[in-house]
């Protein structure tokens, strides 16, 4: 396990990434089906839900520590890239290699193609070591913990449920942003805040979620069953619905000041802005408004490149809200 120097105080935001990646971003003028496509390296960066969130928390002047797995030569490179970027992180060594993903950006069409492998298989004891590290990091500190991204093979479907229990026992608050088989078990355990997009919402409801009324039905169910204290369902270009015991607030996305280029990373960007403001003591609706603005700003950047923080802040004033009982 590698780590940055020890701190005298726990970070207000801790992120957990069980299946990180190194994103290799290449660009071509035009993708051709025949012959060689000559590519240029656009960027090489560490990705994965929780790591992306930690990166953006810091960009919003917050403090964060990213807990993540790292395996093989790719894992060593991942740790080195995080050190070079200045992201505070703690790595749990695993036997299998960390994954690499390819992002191909076609400059002519300004389209992005994301090619993502499933990643390593973790042994149960490696997952347990991540839980133990998280528990030690939270000891004596009240933090926000963001569990984001997919679970790698080998971990049980109730792994995020175990995370939820450890976080609660530590007196901290879990923000969950995941999908697939791990989602129902985690919600059954209960989380502080759950963010889902349309696809994830539809997997929970079994029917289309096309607007605010559909999102309200889901959010009400999440609140009344104790699955979440705060439910945020994002609705693409419409915006998001933020629901608490005090009511439901529609947050309408601001008009984009440019052409949308990619939705990759919009969700992580939103969660980062939202959690940063919650950690600073802001109310959920105001925090969510910055999240909606930040997701919009992320749409203006190609591939997985980071959004412009100042653009996100400027769009915040254009997020319209409507509160329903």
Which residues are annotated as catalytic?
Answer: 268
Please give the DSSP secondary-structure letter assigned to residue 153. B
Radius of gyration of the chain (CA): 19
**How many alpha carbons fall within 13 Å on the CB side of residue 231?**
26
Please list, in sequence order, all residues whose beta carbon lies within 8 angstroms of the beta carbon of residue 90, skipping any fewer than 6 positions away: 1, 2, 3, 4, 65, 66, 67, 68, 133, 137
Please list, in sequence order, all residues whose beta carbon lies within 8 angstroms of the beta carbon of residue 174, skipping any fewer than 6 positions away: 145, 146, 147, 163, 164, 167, 168, 191, 192, 193
CA dihedral 126, 276, 7, 46 (to 10 degrees): 50
The helix (run of H) or strand (run of E) holding residue 190 is none
Please list, in sequence order, all residues whose beta carbon lies within 8 angstroms of the beta carbon of residue 270, skipping any fewer than 6 positions away: 195, 234, 240, 291, 292, 294, 295, 298
């Amino acid at each position: 396990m590698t780590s940055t120097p020890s701190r005298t105080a726990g970070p207000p935001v801790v992120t957990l990434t069980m299946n990180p990646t190194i994103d290799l971003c290449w660009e071509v003028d035009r993708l051709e089906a025949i012959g060689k496509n000559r590519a240029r390296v656009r960027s090489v960066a560490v990705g994965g839900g929780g790591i992306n969130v930690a990166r953006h928390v810091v960009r919003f002047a917050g403090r964060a520590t990213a807990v993540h797995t790292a395996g093989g030569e790719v894992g060593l490179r991942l740790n080195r890239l995080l050190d070079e970027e200045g992201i505070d992180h703690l790595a749990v060594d695993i036997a299998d290699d960390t994954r690499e993903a390819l992002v191909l950006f076609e400059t002519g069409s300004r389209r992005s193609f994301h090619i993502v492998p499933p990643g390593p298989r973790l042994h149960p004891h490696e997952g347990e070591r991540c839980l133990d590290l998280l528990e030690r990091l939270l000891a004596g500190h009240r933090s926000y913990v963001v569990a984001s991204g997919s679970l790698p093979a080998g971990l049980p479907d109730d792994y995020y449920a175990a995370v939820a229990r450890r976080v609660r026992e530590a007196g901290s608050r879990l923000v969950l942003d995941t999908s697939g088989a791990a989602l129902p078990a985690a919600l059954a355990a209960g989380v502080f805040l759950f963010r889902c997009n349309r696809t994830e919402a539809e997997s929970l409801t079994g029917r289309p979620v096309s607007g605010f009324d559909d999102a309200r039905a889901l959010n009400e169910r999440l609140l009344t069953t104790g699955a979440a204290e705060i439910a945020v369902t994002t609705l693409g270009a419409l915006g998001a619905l933020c629901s608490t015991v005090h009511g439901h607030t529609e947050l309408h996305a601001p008009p984009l000041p440019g052409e949308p280029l990619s939705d990759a990373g919009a969700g992580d960007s939103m969660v980062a802005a939202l959690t940063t403001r919650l950690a600073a003591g802001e109310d959920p609706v105001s925090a969510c408004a910055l999240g909606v603005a930040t997701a919009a700003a992320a749409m203006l950047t190609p591939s997985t490149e980071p959004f412009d923080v100042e653009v996100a802040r400027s769009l915040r004033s254009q997020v319209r809200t409507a509160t329903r009982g």
